[in-house]
Structure 1
Amino acid sequence: MSFLPSQPDDARLLDVFRSYPDASRPLLDYHEVLMRGPSDLTVAERELIAAYVSGLNDCDYCHGVHAVTAARFGIEESLLAALLTDLESAPVVGRLRPVLAYVAKLTATPDRITASDAEAVLSAGWSEKALHDAVSICGLFNLMNRLVSGLGITAGQDYFETSGDRLAEGGYAGVADLL
């Protein structure tokens, strides 16, 4: 239930964005650049990070939307469940594990991030830009999780599917076009 009296009880994030377009457009522009622009991380990996961070934060709305979006780009749904259960035993392919460990630590205990955490990502073969992008995605979705939770925005699986399809097909620029 939305905590904003001007919004319907079943308000979605898009409703809030439409009510506050001056703040929402730059935020969606940032999403588009970060989540769909050039990066060493694939779109699937970036959506996985968004869903993972949101799951760590128990933000069902963002986790649901981005889990579906990640699946649309080829991420197995079972991987997210495994990651949220135990990162160390999750079937993470390739060099993504240190990136996910980094964003997990940054989400849970940001004051404990060290240079050795960054070095683990870089030693796995990722570029500085990939580290920057992962940190930025983590920060963005910690913000989005607080925004959604703080405003009482909720939805169910049907909406997650619709929103995931919309993000997979039109990206975040497509959402901005709906404002």
Structure 2
Amino acid sequence: MSYLKSLPAETTLLQVFQANPEPARHLLAFHEVLLRGDSPFTPGERELIAAYVSGVNECGYCHGIHTVTAEAFGVPPGVLTAALTDLDTAPVEDRMKPVLAYVGKLTRTPSRMTDADAEAVFAAGWDERALHDAVLVCALFNFMNRMVDGLGIRADDEYKSLSGERLKHSGYAGLAKFLPEQ
């Protein structure tokens, strides 16, 4: 139930964006650049990172929507659940495991990051741009998880599915068309 009493009890993030369009435009533009722009990671891999970070944070809203989006981009169903249960044995591509381990540690214990954590990502074949992008996706979804949970935003499975598919097909820029004109 939303903590914003001016909005419906079952408020979605899109409704919060519609009520606060100016910051929403900037957030959506940043999402679009980071999750759909040029990157060593595919959009599916970036959505995997977003869903994983959201799962580590136990943010059901973001984890659910971005799991659907990652799966729409080709991440096999069940991978995120398995990765959150035991990343070492999860059916995640070997190259992505150190990236997910990195963002998981950055989410849980950011002050404990070391050179060795970054070196594991590099040893898997990723470059500095990839590490940068993974950190930005991680940071963005830690922010979004706090925003969603702090505002009391929840969604049922039907909405998560609808939203995840919408993100796959129209991206984050496509959500801006639902905002009121400036």
Q: Indicate the TM-score class for this superposition, using the shorter chain for normalisation.
A: over 0.9
Q: Share of identical aligned residues, percent?
A: 59
- What's the CA shift for 1:91? 1.4
Structure 1: state its 5+ residue gaps: none
- What's the CA shift for 1:94? 3.2
- What's the CA shift for 1:97? 0.7
Secondary structure, aligned partner of 2:78:
helix
Report what 2:89 is aligned to.
89
What amino acid sits opposite 1:83 in the alignment?
A
Aligned ranges for residues 138-149 of structure 1 at < 5 Å? Answer: 138-149=138-149
What amino acid sits opposite 2:99 in the alignment?
V
What amino acid sits opposite 2:114 in the alignment?
T
Report the Cα distance in structure 2 between the residues aligned to 1:93 and 1:39, rounded to whole angstroms.
Answer: 18
Secondary structure, aligned partner of 1:8:
coil
Moved over 3 A (4+): none
Report what 1:133 is aligned to.
133
- Taking structure 1 as the reference length, the TM-score comes to 0.98
Report what 1:112 is aligned to.
112
CA RMSD after TM alignment: 0.7
Report what 1:61 is aligned to.
61
What amino acid sits opposite 2:133 in the alignment?
D
Report what 1:18 is aligned to.
18
- What's the CA shift for 1:112? 0.4
Decide which moves more: 78-87 or 88-97.
88-97
Report the Cα distance in structure 1 between the residues aligned to 2:156 and 2:132, rounded to whole angstroms.
Answer: 32
Report the Cα distance in structure 2 between the residues aligned to 1:77 and 1:151, rounded to whole angstroms.
Answer: 29
Report the Cα distance in structure 2 between the residues aligned to 1:58 and 1:124, rounded to whole angstroms.
Answer: 27
**1:38 pairs with 2:38:** yes
Report the Cα distance in structure 1 between the residues aligned to 2:125 and 2:88, rounded to whole angstroms.
Answer: 19
Report the Cα distance in structure 1 between the residues aligned to 2:150 and 2:33, rounded to whole angstroms.
Answer: 25
Answer 1 or 2: which has greater helix percent.
1
Report what 1:170 is aligned to.
170
Count residues in correspondence. Answer: 179
Secondary structure, aligned partner of 1:77:
coil
Decide which moves more: 14-23 or 85-94.
85-94
What amino acid sits opposite 1:93 in the alignment?
E
Report the Cα distance in structure 1 between the residues aligned to 2:92 and 2:157, rounded to whole angstroms.
Answer: 25
Report the Cα distance in structure 2 between the residues aligned to 1:77 and 1:67, rounded to whole angstroms.
Answer: 9
Decide which moves more: 119-128 or 144-153.
119-128
